[in-house]
Chains A and B, each alone.
Chain A
Amino acid sequence: MTDPTAHVEVRDLTLAYGEHVVQKDLSFAVRRGEVFVIMGDSGCGKSTLMRHMIGLNQPAAGEVLYDGEPFWAADEGRRERLQGKFGVLYQSAALFSSMTLEENVSLSLVERAGLAPEAARQVAALKLALVGLAGFEQHYPSEISGGMRKRAGLARAMALDPEILYFDEPSAGLDPLSSRRLDDLIRELRASAGATIVLVTHELPSIFELGDNAVFLDSERKTMIAQGPPGELKESPDPKVRAFMSRGRL
């Protein structure tokens, strides 16, 4: 049964690499406009789940639905169109090192949206300004810091005004101040752009600061063991979830 309020719905999903099952029986819904957090201990398959949700890995079983439309059951052309709804910020930012920041952001605007180069350049300037990188348009990724690369990756993810933004460990490798600034940016972008945000992280400050809802994946039981608002998960009956949410202090 499809959840009518769900923007993204994960239904009975099993993630596997060949015979090796990473996670199984995952079912949850991400509502439109909310920040949904995928969390769990290291190696539990958070990023793998995200890769299955955005169409990079095919699930061994189950389905991912966007506005009620099955993603994996669709043909390749339809899947590509559905992927136009996403923007993804990868853990390493994954900026193209041979392109300037402006070229990185305008690539999809020109190649996918068919914008004229001058219009794409203007949109890229806006997107870079939104993440605090105005004036860095002609810089290459190797010429800016790690935190700036993450923000440039965010600008690229937002290039096509996606309905859904996926963030894979956005704070990984950042100092607390840069991490905090990125969290603020995500919150402000959500307030002004109204996108649905799926956040893969194990950073507790980000989880409590940003998350409306969350799912907790367990590497030992290879399935989700809790879901709900992060504040409520602190009181979860599962001791592992409680320990995680209170940084081991029970």
Chain B
Amino acid sequence: MKPRPETASLAALSASSPEVAAAQRLRFNRQGPDLRLVLSGPWILKAGVPPIDDLAREIDLAPPRRLVFDSEGLEGWDSALVTFVYAALGVASRRGVDVDLSGLPAGAQKLLALARAVPPHVEAHPAEDDALTARVGRVALHAWGTVGDGLTFLGETVLALGAFLRGRARFRRVDLLHAVEVTGAGALGIVILINFLIGAVLAFVGAVQLQQFGAAIYVASLVAIGVARELGALMTGIVMCGRTGASFAAVLGTMTVNEEVDALTTMGLRPVEFLVLPRLLATALMLPALVAYADVFGMLGGLFVGVTMLDLGAVEYLQQTRQALALRHVMIGLAKGVAFGVVVALTGCYYGIRCGRSAAAVGAATTQAVVMGIVLVVIVDAVATVFLHLVRL
């Protein structure tokens, strides 16, 4: 093949500074079996790094025996030059072409020697099979693993509870008191606010229908039974998932990342007993108490709408509430509160204590704790509602 004496190409740069880029040049010059790369102008990061494809094409056009660098026209260089030459070395190596670096600045040669001192890590990073079946399989296996792991965690928690009932559980009582404060008094404000508004919304929506039949007074019954049996506990459970469950996951996740959970294990303390048990007891104890507040303020929300918008008398509304509300409705709501407390504490603690080892893992654990907590609270509520209907309670 007839050698081409000189092929000039202005490097098409991905430049952040066009005026600098315009001065940065790479020319290909054929000299016998050698391909001479003539570099001129400033080869600096500000001007970007020339794409290596031009060189690959030039080599493929007529494979030379050797690449020779000529940097006499260079007006300054930094990592842009070394990056290009390093990439050129890869291109040449894959095509079996020798490279002569002696024409480069001494500093660049030293850096290139340093970059090539350790051979590249050959074990490829395992690429994930992106096929739909593979993805479905991965999700299914992960879900199955989570179920198994969750049951193990549940078993450990039951054992810890057994130890607690026998007076043998080892945890700091101050942690229990702190958890009681955080999950109880700390959450009271948001629980009251949410349930007051839910009661008001329920009364308003109910009134729109009931007024058509001249039965507006039954709004009080609707709100009383709805809040006491269902919404007081459900809304409190959901609020506590976002507040307390997320907090448990974040705290325990950070402790896992910092190896504090490992430290407990090596000190002979069971993490489930020491960390999960006080949180579980506190939440199971405090959530029904919060539900009681939720019931009262939900009904007050209904009363507020009834008195201000439906022209009902306050005494009349309260009397109707008393007639409609049976003790079993309240007890069912409180019992759901205990169940939701257990769910919130277990999901928060599970995802926290099984957290990965990075900051991102803590975020993921918190998200999973909240999402799974809400899903489980709603599932438990649905199952309980159907069961109570079947046993006519």
A residues in contact (CB < 8 Å) with B? 97-98, 109, 113-116, 118-119, 122-123, 125-127, 129-130, 132-136, 138-142, 160-161, 188-189, 191-194
Closest to B86 in A: A126
Q: What are the residues of chain A within 8 A of B117 when measuring CB–CB?
A: 132
B48 at the interface (CB under 8 A from A): yes
Asked whether, in the complex, the Cβ of A134 is within 8 Å of the Cβ of B78, the reply is no
Least distance between A183 CB and chain B CB atoms (Å):
14
Asked whether, in the complex, the Cβ of B357 is within 8 Å of the Cβ of A122, the reply is no
Expressed in whole angstroms, the Cα–Cα distance for A122 and B86 within the complex equals: 9
With A132-B118, A134-B115 already in contact, 5 other A-B pairs whose C-beta atoms are closer than 8 Å: A115-B48, A119-B14, A130-B114, A133-B118, A133-B121
Q: What are the residues of chain B within 8 A of A109 when measuring CB–CB?
A: 45
Closest to B113 in A: A192
Q: What are the residues of chain A within 8 A of B83 when measuring CB–CB?
A: 119, 122-123, 125-126
State which of B48, B86, B107, B116 has its C-beta within 8 Å of the C-beta of A119: B48
Closest to B106 in A: A192
Map CB proximity to A onto B100-137 as digits: 1 under 8 Å, 0 otherwise: 00000001001100111111111101000000000000
B8 at the interface (CB under 8 A from A): no
Expressed in whole angstroms, the Cα–Cα distance for A191 and B109 within the complex equals: 12
Expressed in whole angstroms, the Cα–Cα distance for A114 and B84 within the complex equals: 17
Asked whether, in the complex, the Cβ of A194 is within 8 Å of the Cβ of B114, the reply is no
Expressed in whole angstroms, the Cα–Cα distance for A132 and B120 within the complex equals: 8
Query: Which 9 residue pairs of A and B lie closest in terms of their CB atoms, listed nearest first?
Result: A135-B121, A116-B14, A114-B16, A97-B358, A192-B110, A132-B118, A134-B120, A135-B120, A129-B115
Q: What are the residues of chain A within 8 A of B46 when measuring CB–CB?
A: 113
Q: What are the residues of chain B within 8 A of A138 when measuring CB–CB?
A: 125
State which of A115, A125, A135, A188 has its C-beta within 8 Å of the C-beta of B86: A125
A-B contact pairs, 17 of them (CB 8 A): A98-B360, A115-B45, A116-B14, A116-B48, A119-B51, A122-B84, A122-B87, A123-B49, A123-B83, A129-B118, A130-B111, A135-B120, A142-B358, A188-B114, A192-B110, A192-B111, A194-B107
Contacts across chains A and B counted by CB atoms under 8 Å = 91
Asked whether, in the complex, the Cβ of B115 is within 8 Å of the Cβ of A161, the reply is no
Given contacts A118-B14, A192-B107, contact A97 B359 (CB under 8 A): yes
Q: What are the residues of chain A within 8 A of B356 when measuring CB–CB?
A: 142
Asked whether, in the complex, the Cβ of A193 is within 8 Å of the Cβ of B111, the reply is yes
Expressed in whole angstroms, the Cα–Cα distance for A224 and B46 within the complex equals: 39
Given contacts A192-B107, A194-B107, contact A136 B121 (CB under 8 A): yes
Q: What are the residues of chain B within 8 A of A113 when measuring CB–CB?
A: 16, 45-46
Expressed in whole angstroms, the Cα–Cα distance for A113 and B86 within the complex equals: 20
Asked whether, in the complex, the Cβ of A161 is within 8 Å of the Cβ of B78, the reply is yes
Expressed in whole angstroms, the Cα–Cα distance for A188 and B359 within the complex equals: 33
Q: What are the residues of chain A within 8 A of B197 when measuring CB–CB?
A: none
Least distance between A173 CB and chain B CB atoms (Å):
13
Expressed in whole angstroms, the Cα–Cα distance for A227 and B86 within the complex equals: 41
Least distance between A143 CB and chain B CB atoms (Å):
8
